[in-house]
A and B are shown apart, each in its own frame.
Chain A
Amino acid sequence: MRIGVVTFPGTLDDYDAARAVEAAGAQAVPLFHASDDLKEVQAVVLPGGFSYGDYLRCGAIARFAPIMSSIITAAEHGFPVLGICNGFQVLTESHLLEGAMIRNKDLHFICKDQPLVIENTQTMWTNGFTAGQEIVIPLKNMEGSFQCDDATLARIEDEGRVIARYVGENPNGARNKIAGITNKRGNVVGLMPHPEHAIEDLTGPGTDGLTFFTSVLQTLVGR
């Protein structure tokens, strides 16, 4: 299995995402923003970081990179895409997912081990979890507060498209404590916290994050 990991200028967690992909048993294929070649990968991870410095809006400039036009087209046809943190922001800027992220409610960068509850286990990236499962993975960002208008929020909730919610105190002011959502088809998933930093006990809060990557492998094998 070949899973692509995209590097934009300013991407930071690409190396870690690639390590997580390999830990799950797939081959990580580096994809560079400036080319539209998906190199025959079967899924793509948009990792965290500060693409283009995130100076304008997080993900706003990355969304127009050549690689994104290929990813957007593929995603519309059911190709699996996981956006983590900055990657999630790129997905909302690309309108593959609803909503947008704004500054954390206390205005600070937050780095903490965050408990989450997994709600939707029907997506390509979460099918290895059980519904209601609680996991802990790192949350680290400055602009992580998920926002959208009331109608959109109602739609996302009604359609069961929240994949993960923060447990305990709302860390950043996200509406309905939303930590991650999926599109209707379940192939595109965006998540603010970082599963790729929870794949071994030695360097993270545990191994809960690995299931996102093994889930997509399961999906691809089953195809």
Chain B
Amino acid sequence: MALDTVSIAETTPNNEQPWRELGLKEDEYARIKSILNRRPTSSELAMYSVMWSEHCSYKSSKVHLKQFGEKAPKSDALLVGIGENAGVVDIGQGYAVTFKIESHNHPSFVEPYQGAATGVGGIVRDILTMGARPIAVMDPLRFGLADAPDTRRVLPGIVAGVGGYGNCLGLPNIGGEVVFDETYAGNPLVNALCVGVMKHSDIKLATAHGTGNLVVLFGAKTGGDGIGGVSVLASETFASGKAAKRPAVQVGDPFAEKVLIECSLEIFAQDLVVGIQDLGGAGLSCATSELASAGSGGMDIQLEKVPLRDPSLSPEEILMSESQERMCAIIEPSKLAAFMKICKKWDVTATVIGQVSEGDRLKITFNGELIVDVPPRTVAHDGPVYNRPIAKPAYLDSLTCAEVPTPSKGAELKAAVLKLMSSPNMADKSWVTSQYDRYVQGNSVLAQPEDSGMIRIDAQTNLGVAISTDANARWSYLDPYEGAKLALLESCRNIATTGAKPLAVTNCLNFGSPEDPGVMWQFSETVRGLADACLELGLPVTGGNVSFYNQTGSVAILPTPVIGVLGVIQDVRTRTQMGIKTAGLDLYLIGTTDDDLSGSEWAYLHGVMGNTAPKADLAMEQRLINLLLDGQSIFEAAHDLSNGGLVAGLAEMTLRYTVGADLAVSVNLFSETPGRVLVAVKPEDAEQLTALSNKFNITIAKLGTTGGDDLIINDAVIPLSELSQAHSETFPKLFG
């Protein structure tokens, strides 16, 4: 295959190029030509096509996402905002925390184990790149119907992949979600969150400064992973014969990543890098163009120096390869020896592949021939921006209200509780979570099934962070603006319920095709809702991820904005757990209950969607959060109410340590009205709770007392042994 160089491109302006096969639009190809004043070389074409893809350029979402900047609340906590690999927030005592969610949806459908594994690997490298030690992961997941045959292929593979990679890295898994809905059949969602911690002074950025500084690639060797479409370049157009067979599947090597983490942290500790970037989507194309574009000069790369696992790779493929477990650092020449020594200690391959140059061009040569000569910003940042058409979808006009029976007593109630708590969405998830290590690193204060995960940051001062992720896709389907707000509020409430104060937000927005105006409307409403709510609650959005094209034919997934909230707790020893541990406590419901059955779990079990989402009451929720934080010391247990409503909350609190309760409840047991929390307090603390209720103007109602072996609601007696069996046998029955 002949090498397509810049000088050949200059002299053969009319060569046919496979831009269409690479996913570029005609006007995008024309723009590349006008940027370069010539046709691109095949390597340049490869770089632009991948970097200008939806996944890398956010071309459909950009115009909306900028609201997160425009509406950003003033926050002293934000140290690094949107745009870097991950946002960084100040949590006090000199500590900074970075966290982010990413999706790996499509690869996980093709190859569940490896797709999920490399999803975890990718987000962990993003966190590491900021200079932080990764300290925990979470995994919000969505699947098609639980009893569908393909779910039996997809779910066990994804769970094993999340665990296989995360466990091997030594990262505790402290939470996530497992939700089933038929729209996710063929479109499972694998979102992975990672959180890391560092000292303020250790924050690293992805920039290439200082002419003469070295570009070093370290970690795994480069193979043909994930280059899929780009092999078009290497075969059909420029080679004579058959298409090269390149795997689109990336295979993870968690051991290589574990070693890379330790190696990188030692390098950071000795302050040996000027800038650093991980290699994720679009591989070297992304890393070199982003580093150069964020820096002050240009960059020269000698591509033949890249260590290869597969020697047959063409330069285009080397640029595109998404081989995992690689990092790219900018280092001063005087520090190279120290850098290499650490890499040798950890047996990590490291190679100088280029230099920061004067000027403002990214130039890549292959065995001395110039194959790329571009302004890096045009690759990394100046991609196309679309203002896609938006239209309120027609389905919203044909919704009908949720009319489902909601029993309140007797055998009917008992049967309903057993049915609800054994349904796949509400059932015990320990079949999943027991495959994840929640103990490693020794700082997991809370993990599943608690309302949020909590990690101790400092063993001397007991400073800690809490994290929760939430999405309610059915509410988002009914009203994406309110749905996004409600997901944020639920996540904040989960944080406050455990005793931490919400501080910052990340998100992963999973949607159907942006080319469908209805989907684009859902998306724009979601972003608007999230930005409005963050502004009002004073919480900065520190970063996130957009995943489009989650649809099969014309059927899109339910709009699924997964919202992650990070909170801070000054003393983790004061955290509140969800389970009732002792008899003789008073159980209170905080918040008011309306008839919110639309989008509820109970209606879903009856095959009913309903017609409207609840309205998010931000002011009330803020007061509730303050109440929860103020009252922390009197709560013996506290549990946020969400899916399944009051009855689910009661079941979960009593099942946790098998301590029952005897309760009289007059409100709708299945309604999912947001802004409610169940708390257990000692009888002598009742007065204090009433005072809090008055202070924050939030309704409280005593439901009854704890104790016994049954959950008794009105006159329905539900033995915990029976409830526990119904709750816990669903997953083993489905997945073995």
- Is there a direct interface between A and B, measured as CB atoms under 8 Å apart in the complex? yes
| Interface residue B160 (Cβ < 8 Å from any Cβ of A) | yes
Alpha-carbon distance A138/B440, docked complex (angstroms): 10
Known: A202-B456, A203-B456. A140 touches B439 (CB 8 A): yes
Contact with B along A187-205 (1 / 0, CB 8 A): 0000000101100001110
Contact with B along A76-118 (1 / 0, CB 8 A): 0000000000000000000000000000001011111000000
Does A110 contact B435, Cβ atoms closer than 8 Å?
A: yes
In the complex, identify which listed stretch (A13-21, A122-130, A155-163, A213-221) lies at the interface while the others stay far away: A13-21
Closest to A198 in B: B439
| Interface residue B517 (Cβ < 8 Å from any Cβ of A) | no
| Interface residue B444 (Cβ < 8 Å from any Cβ of A) | yes
Alpha-carbon distance A12/B345, docked complex (angstroms): 17
Closest to A53 in B: B255
Q: Which of A1-59 contact B (CB under 8 A)?
A: 9-10, 12-13, 15-16, 19, 34, 49-50, 52-55
Alpha-carbon distance A196/B256, docked complex (angstroms): 25
Contact with A along B253-280 (1 / 0, CB 8 A): 1111011001000000000000000000
Does B441 contact A108, Cβ atoms closer than 8 Å?
A: no
For residue A152, give the distance in angstroms from its CB to the closest CB of chain B. Answer: 30
| Residue from A13, A16, A110 in contact with B434 in the complex, judged by beta carbons closer than 8 Å | A110
Question: How many chain A residues touch B (Cβ–Cβ < 8 Å)?
Answer: 29
Contact with A along B150-164 (1 / 0, CB 8 A): 000000000010011
Does B435 contact A203, Cβ atoms closer than 8 Å?
A: no
Residues on A with C-beta less than 8 A from B736 are: 106
Residues on B with C-beta less than 8 A from A16 are: 439-442
| Interface residue B347 (Cβ < 8 Å from any Cβ of A) | yes
Residues on B with C-beta less than 8 A from A13 are: 170, 440
Residues on B with C-beta less than 8 A from A55 are: 255
Alpha-carbon distance A95/B443, docked complex (angstroms): 34
Alpha-carbon distance A46/B487, docked complex (angstroms): 44
Alpha-carbon distance A9/B345, docked complex (angstroms): 10
For residue A17, give the distance in angstroms from its CB to the closest CB of chain B. Answer: 9
User: Which of A19, A108, A110, A203 gathers most chain B CB within 10 Å?
Assistant: A203
| Interface residue B573 (Cβ < 8 Å from any Cβ of A) | yes
Q: Which of A120-161 contact B (CB under 8 A)?
A: 138, 140, 142
For residue B575, give the distance in angstroms from its CB to the closest CB of chain A. Answer: 9
Alpha-carbon distance A106/B431, docked complex (angstroms): 11
Residues on B with C-beta less than 8 A from A112 are: 434
Residues on B with C-beta less than 8 A from A138 are: 439
Interface residues on B, range: 35 or more
For residue B685, give the distance in angstroms from its CB to the closest CB of chain A. Answer: 22
Known: A53-B168, A194-B439. A203 touches B444 (CB 8 A): yes
Residues on A with C-beta less than 8 A from B436 are: 109, 111
Closest to B348 in A: A9
Query: What total of A-B pairs shows CB separation below 8 Å?
Result: 86
Does B255 contact A12, Cβ atoms closer than 8 Å?
A: no
Does A49 contact B170, Cβ atoms closer than 8 Å?
A: yes
For residue B341, give the distance in angstroms from its CB to the closest CB of chain A. Answer: 13
Residues on A with C-beta less than 8 A from B459 are: 19
Closest to A20 in B: B442
Does A53 contact B170, Cβ atoms closer than 8 Å?
A: no
| Residue from A52, A54, A202 in contact with B572 in the complex, judged by beta carbons closer than 8 Å | A202
Does B163 contact A109, Cβ atoms closer than 8 Å?
A: yes
Known: A16-B441, A53-B168, A202-B456. A108 touches B254 (CB 8 A): no
| Interface residue B204 (Cβ < 8 Å from any Cβ of A) | no
| Residue from A49, A108, A110, A204 in contact with B439 in the complex, judged by beta carbons closer than 8 Å | A204
Closest to A17 in B: B442
Q: Which of B425-457 contact A (CB under 8 A)?
A: 433-445, 456
Alpha-carbon distance A55/B345, docked complex (angstroms): 21
Does B434 contact A111, Cβ atoms closer than 8 Å?
A: yes
Does B442 contact A109, Cβ atoms closer than 8 Å?
A: no
Residues on B with C-beta less than 8 A from A106 are: 736
| Interface residue B408 (Cβ < 8 Å from any Cβ of A) | no
Does A53 contact B456, Cβ atoms closer than 8 Å?
A: no
Alpha-carbon distance A50/B440, docked complex (angstroms): 12
Does B441 contact A109, Cβ atoms closer than 8 Å?
A: no
Contact with A along B323-355 (1 / 0, CB 8 A): 000000000000000000000011100000000
For residue A146, give the distance in angstroms from its CB to the closest CB of chain B. Answer: 20
Does A10 contact B259, Cβ atoms closer than 8 Å?
A: yes
For residue A45, give the distance in angstroms from its CB to the closest CB of chain B. Answer: 14
Does B439 contact A111, Cβ atoms closer than 8 Å?
A: yes
Known: A9-B255, A50-B255, A55-B255. A109 touches B437 (CB 8 A): yes
| Residue from A10, A34, A197 in contact with B168 in the complex, judged by beta carbons closer than 8 Å | A10
Known: A9-B255, A10-B168, A55-B255. A203 touches B440 (CB 8 A): no
Alpha-carbon distance A156/B436, docked complex (angstroms): 32
Alpha-carbon distance A125/B345, docked complex (angstroms): 32
Does B435 contact A9, Cβ atoms closer than 8 Å?
A: no
Residues on A with C-beta less than 8 A from B256 are: 53
Does B434 contact A197, Cβ atoms closer than 8 Å?
A: no
Closest to B462 in A: A202
Does A111 contact B437, Cβ atoms closer than 8 Å?
A: yes
Residues on A with C-beta less than 8 A from B259 are: 9-10
Does A10 contact B445, Cβ atoms closer than 8 Å?
A: no
Residues on A with C-beta less than 8 A from B168 are: 10, 12, 50, 53-54
Does A9 contact B439, Cβ atoms closer than 8 Å?
A: no
Does B255 contact A140, Cβ atoms closer than 8 Å?
A: no
For residue A21, give the distance in angstroms from its CB to the closest CB of chain B. Answer: 12
9 residue pairs from A and B, CB less than 8 Å apart: A9-B262, A12-B440, A19-B459, A53-B253, A108-B434, A109-B164, A109-B167, A110-B435, A138-B439
Q: Across chains A and B, which 10 residue pairs bring their CB atoms closest together, nearest first?
A: A53-B255, A12-B170, A16-B442, A197-B439, A109-B435, A50-B168, A138-B439, A140-B437, A109-B163, A108-B435
Binding site for B on A (CB under 8 A): 9-10, 12-13, 15-16, 19, 34, 49-50, 52-55, 106, 108-112, 138, 140, 142, 194, 196-197, 202-204
Known pairs A10-B258, A111-B437, A204-B439; list 19 more (Cβ under 8 Å): A9-B259, A9-B262, A9-B347, A12-B258, A16-B439, A16-B440, A16-B442, A53-B254, A53-B255, A54-B255, A55-B255, A108-B435, A110-B434, A110-B435, A197-B440, A202-B573, A203-B443, A203-B444, A203-B445
